[in-house]
């Protein structure tokens, strides 16, 4: 029976992601907001919902290992598999702001988590710090996106420029857009929840530890929305949404998900968990270097990322 639910969960995820990308792209066109901003905010929030549900729930239940492992494992998967596989499928151009601002900020946030967790504990004050940084990030992202949108809408003569891409199907009406996004998010969250529950049941039946389940099965399950959404976005030509989705989701996982979990119930970290956080920071730096090299992510780099994920998962299982 768990295997049947696993398949049903995948179906909800795939369809939900497809619907949600349509709605998010429609919002971007309707308000002339850059797709990268949509990916960093709305899409990232929707696809990070399963991580939030699992980590907050684990925190409430006192399962500290699951709270940390879920976030760290999800961030591993997002960078190494989601962006790795995506760049193997198609070359991913990276915007200048992503290289100069968004990815360096993700590195700083990862270093902040290492610093806060160096004493092997994330207290309520630590969680509050993460939430404050998240609020500042969200406000700054929206403001810069709107400012960029306003600048792009005015041409050199001061006349309003036409911002409609005639090659794209006309966007939905506002009520339909909201409805589409809502159904997409429901599908993503419901599908992710079904996949996680059924996969965890299957895994624990084989005697896997809570930390291992969090880093592998649960992390992969909660990251499936990011994976499916990014692949669907690439097929629709929305590569900026794919990249923004991953960067935004990783930021949300650290700042919002762990911030909320720590405020609700202080988290005690194991030494292994701290090592995982440090490695997460290292691969984030590697992602930045890859992006900066060619202003894009290409197939060779994608292969390296996927190999790193496989190698680290093998290390995680045997350690």
Question: pLDDT band at 43, cuts 50/70/90?
Answer: low
Query: What is the SS3 string spanning 168-223?
Result: CCCCCCHHHHHHHHHHHHHHHHHHHHHHHHHHHHHHHCCCCCHHHHHHHHHHHHHH
Q: What average pLDDT does the structure give for the chain? A: 80
Q: Is 296 helix (H, G, I), strand (E, B) or coil?
A: strand
Verdict on whether the full-model pTM lies above 0.85:
no
Q: How far apart are CA 77 and CA 81, in angstroms?
A: 5
Sign, CA torsion 81/65/273/119:
positive
Candidates 288, 238, 241, 254; CA nearest to 79 is: 288
pLDDT of residue 148: 63
Question: pLDDT band at 64, cuts 50/70/90?
Answer: low
User: Which structure tokens are listed for 217?
Assistant: 């099965």
Question: pLDDT band at 214, cuts 50/70/90?
Answer: confident
First-to-last CA distance in the chain? Answer: 31
29 neighbors 165 (Cβ within 8 angstroms): yes
Candidates 3, 4, 14, 6; CA nearest to 233 is: 14
- The angle formed by the CA atoms of residues 12, 17 and 22, to the nearest 5 degrees, is 135
Q: How far apart are CA 126 and CA 225, in angstroms?
A: 28
Q: How far apart are CA 267 and CA 278, in angstroms?
A: 17
Q: How far apart are CA 291 and CA 14, in angstroms?
A: 27
pLDDT of residue 168: 38
For the chain, which residues make up each domain, given as ranges? 34-154+208-318
Q: How far apart are CA 139 and CA 264, in angstroms?
A: 23
Tell me which residue has tokens 């768990």. 2
Task: Tell me which fold the domain 34-154+208-318 belongs to.
Answer: A middle domain of Talin 1 (1.20.1420)
59 neighbors 265 (Cβ within 8 angstroms): yes
Tens-digit pLDDT profile for residues 268-316: 888 888 999 999 999 999 999 999 988 889 999 999 999 999 998 888 8
- The angle formed by the CA atoms of residues 182, 186 and 190, to the nearest 5 degrees, is 175
């Amino acid at each position: 029976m768990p295997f049947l639910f696993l398949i049903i969960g995948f179906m909800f995820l795939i369809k939900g992601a497809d619907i949600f990308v349509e709605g998010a792209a429609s919002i971007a066109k309707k308000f002339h907001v850059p797709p990268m901003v949509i990916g960093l905010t709305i899409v990232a929030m929707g696809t990070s919902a399963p991580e939030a549900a699992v980590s907050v729930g684990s925190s409430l239940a006192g399962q500290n290992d699951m709270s940390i492992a879920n976030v760290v494992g999800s961030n591993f998967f997002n960078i190494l598999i989601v962006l790795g596989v995506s760049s193997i499928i198609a070359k991913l151009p990276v915007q200048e702001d992503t290289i100069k601002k968004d990815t360096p900020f993700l590195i700083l946030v990862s270093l902040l988590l290492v610093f806060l967790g160096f004493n092997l504990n994330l207290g309520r004050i630590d969680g509050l710090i993460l939430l404050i940084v998240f609020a500042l990030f969200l406000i700054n992202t929206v403001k810069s996106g709107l400012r960029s949108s306003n600048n792009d809408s005015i041409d050199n003569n001061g006349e309003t420029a036409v911002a409609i891409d005639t090659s794209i199907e006309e966007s939905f009406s506002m009520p339909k857009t909201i409805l589409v996004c809502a159904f997409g998010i429901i599908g993503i969250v419901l599908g992710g929840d079904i996949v996680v529950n059924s996969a965890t049941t299957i895994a624990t039946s084989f005697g896997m530890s809570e930390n291992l389940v969090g880093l592998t099965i649960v992390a992969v399950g909660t990251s499936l929305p990011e994976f499916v959404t990014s692949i669907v976005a690439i097929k629709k030509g929305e590569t900026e949404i794919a990249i923004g989705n991953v960067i935004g989701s990783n930021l949300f996982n650290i700042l919002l998900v762990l911030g909320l979990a720590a405020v609700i119930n202080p988290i005690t970290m194991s030494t292994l968990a701290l090592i995982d956080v440090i490695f997460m920071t290292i691969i984030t730096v590697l992602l930045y270097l890859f992006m900066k090299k060619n202003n894009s992510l290409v197939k060779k780099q994608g292969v390296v990322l996927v190999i790193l994920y496989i190698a680290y998962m093998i290390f995680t299982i045997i350690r």
